[in-house]
Amino acid sequence: MNLTNRNALVTGGSQGLGRAIVARFVEEGANVLFCARDGTALKQFENELRPGARKGQRILSQVCDVSATKDVEDLFRKADGELGDLHILVNNAGVYGPKGSSEEVPWEEWRRCIEINLYGTFLPCRHAITRFKKLGYGKIINLSGGGATNPLPNISAYAAAKAAVVRLTETLAEELRGLHVDVNAVAPGALNTRLLDEVLQAGPETVGVDFHTRALKQAREGGVPLELGANLCAYLASEASDGITGKLISAKWDPWPSLHIHKDELGASDIYTLRRIVPEDRGKNW
């Protein structure tokens, strides 16, 4: 999964999974520009990474609100000026948003969650696509999560946004098919990050007893290692995965290290995609 001489932009890169992705990309030799909203955390992480960098390897950070048009324009302007040709975009920035029954959560918080998780994925994609088309190559990796494949009662904004991110991923993959630009979504699994802390702090009366109980078990037993999702992102960013596109891939459950062996079969099927289940799929003849 060598990423030497590849230039990557990672959003939400100062903590949690984003931090692990940045560290993995740097380890694999990529030049990386990563962003978040906390400038202090960004600079601290950048300084931590530099001693382990290879000669000539570029590690950069910039404050950016991925839902703000000007911030994203400035981010890509920095990528153009200091990295050169962009090869990889990882859209990791995201928030859980408001928790509670959908009719009661504050509307502005619900809307803001959609802005960060969905708009904040689409805006960077737009900028990256124009560059990838000119280059004739590119990789877009969108972080999805459990909200895309299962209902999440009391966390409706996050669930809606993440489902939309997967369908956006599939749609962009079709728009760019044949242009050597791969677009995929990653489900990293249940992670022990600040999002889990938010659920625990919200309590069962806000997020629901079942969801809170699962969160307690996850906190107690440990979640999916961050490195697993980071490794999958490195695979999808590498030459090894060229031609795999339009898929939602689970870091924990799918045999992703060998997916390139099945590339032709994947391209001709709806495996790892969101689809409607009809009666025949369940042995019914209605």
pLDDT tens digits for 190-213?
665 666 677 777 777 777 787 778
Left if phi > 0, otherwise alpha if psi is -120 to 50, otherwise beta: which for 164? alpha
pLDDT at position 7: 98
Mean pLDDT (whole number) for 67-91: 98
List the catalytic residue out of 96, 119, 137, 158: 158
By the 8 A CB rule, do 91 and 142 touch?
yes
pLDDT at position 225: 86
pLDDT at position 194: 64
For 55, counting Cβ atoms within 10 Å of its Cβ (0-12 exposed, 13-18 middle, 19+ buried), the class is exposed
pLDDT at position 150: 84
By the 8 A CB rule, do 80 and 60 touch?
no
pLDDT at position 213: 80
The DSSP letter of residue 142 is E
Residues whose CB is less than 8 angstroms from the CB of residue 205 and which lie 6 or more positions away in sequence, other chains included: none
SS3 content of the chain, % helix, strand, coil (to 5): 50, 15, 35
By the 8 A CB rule, do 250 and 44 touch?
no
More confident: 191 or 60: 60
CATH topology of domain 7-189+226-282: Rossmann fold (3.40.50)
More confident: 104 or 219: 104
Is 137's pLDDT higher than 90? yes
**What is the average pLDDT value for the chain, to the nearest integer?**
92
Percentage of the chain with pLDDT > 90?
78
pLDDT at position 105: 95
Respond yes or no: is residue 158 known to be catalytic: yes
The SS3 assignment for 235 reads helix
pLDDT at position 207: 74
Q: In angstroms, rounded to a whole number, what is the distance separating the alpha carbons of residues 147 and 167?
A: 13
Torsional sign, CA 67, 121, 232, 62:
negative
Residue 5 phi/psi, 5° resolution? 70, 10
For 251, counting Cβ atoms within 10 Å of its Cβ (0-12 exposed, 13-18 middle, 19+ buried), the class is buried
Q: In angstroms, rounded to a whole number, what is the distance separating the alpha carbons of residues 262 and 191?
A: 28
Is 222's pLDDT higher than 90? no
Structure tokens at 153: 């009662």
Is 185's pLDDT higher than 70? yes
Residues 90-135: tens digit of each pLDDT = 999 999 899 999 999 999 999 999 999 999 999 999 999 999 999 9
| Nearest Cα to Cα of residue 234 among 8, 47, 5 | 8
Rg of the Cα trace of the chain? 19
More confident: 201 or 173: 173
